[in-house]
Amino acid sequence: MSVLISNDANLDTLLSEDEVCAIAAHVLAAEGVERDVEISLSYVDEDEMHDLNRQWRDIDRTTDVLSFECDSAFDEDIPVDEVLELGDIILAPEVIARQAPGFGNDPADECRLMFVHGLLHLLGYDHIEDDEAEEMEAREDALLRELAVQRGDDPSKVEVGPITNHAHD
């Protein structure tokens, strides 16, 4: 597995590169991904995220995370010796840091949540319908608690927040 990280605006990424790679490895293993995959992670400023959200989702405001799936980690038609391009995750650390207190998180915890959220999207999870949102949120919660234990943090302090449903966007 490789994570290609881009931070052209030299933003505070809220997480170290090592932690990003550890999170990705944990989520992929927990979700049963056994293939070699490549993930692209870009950190962008708030204005660029606003532009991307408008361009790709037709929503004229900023957001915290966007995900764009490429290859499916479970596509049996792609040769097993070929590295899969799982997809792109875009994070807006300024937005994440600003919204974190409202969700009971510090910026790093909120960034962990947004990165896990983006990874789950790349693995086929969605939250358009309430039942999908509940499933995705439960998976985020479980993964973030496991990651907290790995870091030596108290897993009971993990806050995922409300159901992330796009029906009201």
Binding residues: 117, 121, 127
Strand order across the beta sheet in which 84-91 lies? 2-6, 37-43, 84-91, 65-69
Distance CA(39)–CA(87), nearest Å, equals 5
Total count of residues recorded for the chain: 169
Please count the CA atoms within 13 angstroms of the CA of 18 that sit on its side-chain side.
1
Distance CA(96)–CA(98), nearest Å, equals 5
2, 44, 59, 155 from 111: Cα distances, Å: 19, 13, 22, 16
- Side chain identity at 147, as an amino acid letter? L
Residues at the binding site for Zn(2+) are 117, 121, 127
Distance CA(92)–CA(105), nearest Å, equals 16
